[in-house]
Amino acid sequence: MNRIVYLNGDWMPENEAKVSIFDRGYVFGDAIYEVTAVVGGKLVDYAGHAARLQRSIGEVGIVCPLNADDLLAVHREIVKRNALNEGLIYLQISRGAADRDFHYPENPKPTLSLFTQSKKVLDNPNYATGISVITVPDIRWGRRDIKTVQLLAPSMAKMEAQKHDADDAWLYEDGFITESTSSSAHIVNAQGTLITRQLSTRILHGITRRSILDLAREAGISVEERPFTVEEAKAAKEAFITSATQFAIPVVRIDGQPVGDGKPGPVGKKLHQLYLEHRVATAI
Ligand code: PLP
């Protein structure tokens, strides 16, 4: 594979893209990222991802070298240069290279890179089968609302899940589910109410989560934004995850126990369908 990637204003084959070993993204994890799904060569829920990128970099004081229009143009251009039909765009912006010092450098020159990954987004077999998760303690830092590249904790949780023959892990803290390793966690109770944790610094503010909650409310599904316990999740009628490249995927087993009847449930399926109709179909 030799993709065309974007690095600091230039386009080049992926094997020619070089970043300094002094880059603070590499040394301190001092970098922010975004992932936008591409379907039919178009960007899904782009406005949300662009807004969250600005929020994340603003929280850590990194300034994006491109304005909003140019950033969108680069997203479109990378799709075109790689003839990407379905998959994702990964964007990363670090504070840039500086001699190793915990203090931020005075005039940092951020490193901005984008690459594409081709992936079957629409034909994911997990929509029909659902996935299994285990629950593991959430050991991540306290600003999970900032989308930093510090992803060792979720990687460890996914490896733990793999060891237990599960597809993924849901993270818990003080007995309550925070989110999934790389997606937002949702449950549906016996009354058909969709329950998802409210926004705070404890979770990433999922863009797909936001859309799914909007679509649920528009469809007349009752929504509660509040923490839910591990026990509540296991006793739920349905559970599912949401993320940019997975939309809404049913969770059919938690810690080996079936959720509801152990099959994908109607609320999750309906929301996935609504997401396809109202977000994927309107991709830009
Ligand atoms: N929560 C975490 C920890 C994530 O890493 C992600 C996506 O990467 C999400 C939630 C879902 O966010 P989004 O829907 O914006 O992809």
Please tell me the residue having the least CA distance from ligand 1 atom 9: 183
CB of 243 shorter than 6 A to ligand 1: yes
Contact criterion met (CB below 8 Å) for 24 and 94: yes
Distance CA 153, CA 181 (A): 8
Burial pattern 189-204, b for ≥16 Cβ within 10 A else e, equals: beeeebbbbeeeebbb
Atom of ligand 1 nearest to the CA of 181: 3
Provide the whole-model pTM: 0.97
Q: How confident is the model at residue 61 (pLDDT cuts 50, 70, 90)?
A: very high
Token pair 């490193």: residue: 111
Task: Please say if the pLDDT value at position 189 is more than 80.
Answer: yes
Of the CATH numbers 3.20.10.10, 3.40.50.880, 3.40.50.1970, 2.60.40.10, which one belongs to the domain with range 126-280? 3.20.10.10
Please tell me the residue having the least CA distance from ligand 1 atom 8: 182
CATH number corresponding to 4-118:
3.30.470.10
Ligand 1 centroid–CA 206 distance in Å is: 5
Q: How confident is the model at residue 58 (pLDDT cuts 50, 70, 90)?
A: very high
At 249 the pLDDT is 98
Contact criterion met (CB below 8 Å) for 275 and 247: yes
Each residue of 116-175: pLDDT tens digit?
Answer: 999 999 999 999 999 999 999 999 999 999 999 999 999 999 999 999 999 999 999 999
Q: Which residue ranges make up each domain of the chain?
A: 4-118, 126-280
Task: Please say if the pLDDT value at position 1 is more than 90.
Answer: no
